[in-house]
Chains A and B, each alone.
Chain A
Amino acid sequence: MKNPDQLSVPPDGRPYHDQPQWRNDFPIDWPQDEFVARRDFTKFLVLTSFAFVAGQLWIVVENFARKRRGKPPVRRIARADAIPVGGSLVFNYPEPHDSCIVVRTGPQQYFAYNQKCTHLSCAVVPDLARGRLHCPCHNGSFELATGVPLAGPPRRPLERITLEIRNGDLYATGREVRA
């Protein structure tokens, strides 16, 4: 049986099935040489494994970098007495466009939350009479002391900003994202 891809004639002129095995293993004709050679396959395996290793290393490095990057900044909000008991103050934390609100409910009691309602991102306003933060868009309510949703469409608690008082100054030190 003649292989149509075997065009070259071996030097001794005998048909291919009489030829030594190496002649079939290392064909001269291009169409027969199109299969993936062992060394190409090995090269592919080595390079692919190397790519996987490099990817894993990159993930490790990225994780490490993210951990270091992720430390929230400490930012001064105002003097602690500048907010009267029952009063509130809007500030930006951690980025200039992240609007937050701090509410003073007692002489030493401050609560701060991101103003973004977890329903559709309207800004919540304090409703101290009921101990709530109220979202006027769809009548959503959050508990002032914890930030958990009490009424209306929101299902997730507000993002809480941790606070600290140092030498009479009120500082935002971090945020607590809760599911």
Chain B
Amino acid sequence: MNMEFFIDPNRCIGCQSCVAACSECDTHRGTSMIHLQYVDRPISVQTVPVVCMHCDSPTCAEVCPADAIKRTDDGVVQTARKPRCIACNNCVLACPFGVPKMQVEYSLMMKCDMCYDRTSVGSKPMCASVCPSGALYFGTREEIEQLRPRSEPINTFQFGRQTITTKVHMMVPRDRGVQHVDVLSAMDEQPVDDVFEDIE
């Protein structure tokens, strides 16, 4: 059975269940690898769970000067190897999805490894097993098509001139194609002065 990971951010309710479950995973017990982030906190409470997308060409591994980040033959990018990681933060800065976490106390980059101890034997990752709204889903493609008839899984992203293909899928409305993320636009963003202006 070909199980795949699907992220459906607009179903996220920000309950932190995945964060709590992640820190129960035996490959990194006590430390959560999920970033549960607000999209734009001043104007919305919408959250989005950020787990590793497991790129076909992992940028984190590309930039690693210590040859520490490896990808298993089933396409899962692992936490940096402890004997090699030099805690240089290159991967943290390079990842287009902002996934790697520098654990300063261990001098080690740790990241979501899709609960490798579980998924490699056919179980669901911890986060997908607890998510109450289905924002994180682990299952076959047929199941997700049945569950989300109006959405389509994509796994190709465009960051500037970098095209990224990933193992993990993102659910988007149908017929949207490759999402282009203008990474430089954030530099021109102006701070919001008064978001409650209209409410008065």
Instruction: Identify A9's interface contact among B67, B69, B72, B165, CB under 8 A.
Output: B165
Query: Inside 8 A of A7's CB, which chain B residues have their CB?
Result: 71, 73, 75
**Interface members, chain A 107-133 (any B CB < 8 Å):** none
Query: Inside 8 A of B145's CB, which chain A residues have their CB?
Result: none
- How far is the CB of A29 from the nearest CB of chain B, in Å? 5
Tell whether, in the assembled complex, residue A33 and residue B70 are in contact, meaning their CB atoms are under 8 Å apart: yes
Interface string of B168-193 (1 = CB under 8 A from A): 00000000000000000000000000
Interface string of B38-56 (1 = CB under 8 A from A): 0000000000000000001
Q: Does A35 contact B (CB under 8 A)?
A: no
Tell whether, in the assembled complex, residue B58 and residue A8 are in contact, meaning their CB atoms are under 8 Å apart: yes
Instruction: Classify the interface of chain A: helix, strand, loop or mixed.
Output: loop
Interface string of A130-144 (1 = CB under 8 A from B): 000000000000000
Query: Inside 8 A of B72's CB, which chain A residues have their CB?
Result: 29-31
Interface string of B48-90 (1 = CB under 8 A from A): 0000000011110110000101111101001000000000000
* CA gap between A10 and B71 in the complex, in Å: 13
- How far is the CB of B52 from the nearest CB of chain A, in Å? 14
Tell whether, in the assembled complex, residue B70 and residue A9 are in contact, meaning their CB atoms are under 8 Å apart: no
* CA gap between A10 and B62 in the complex, in Å: 9
* CA gap between A31 and B73 in the complex, in Å: 7
Tell whether, in the assembled complex, residue A29 and residue B57 are in contact, meaning their CB atoms are under 8 Å apart: no
- How far is the CB of A174 from the nearest CB of chain B, in Å? 56
Tell whether, in the assembled complex, residue A9 and residue B73 are in contact, meaning their CB atoms are under 8 Å apart: no
Residues A28 and B61 in contact in the complex (CB < 8 Å), given A8-B56, A9-B56, A11-B162 = yes
Instruction: Identify B62's interface contact among A28, A30, A31, CB under 8 A.
Output: A28
Query: Inside 8 A of B69's CB, which chain A residues have their CB?
Result: 28
- How far is the CB of B158 from the nearest CB of chain A, in Å? 13
Q: Which of A11, A26, A29 has the most CB of B within 10 A?
A: A11
Query: Inside 8 A of A5's CB, which chain B residues have their CB?
Result: 73
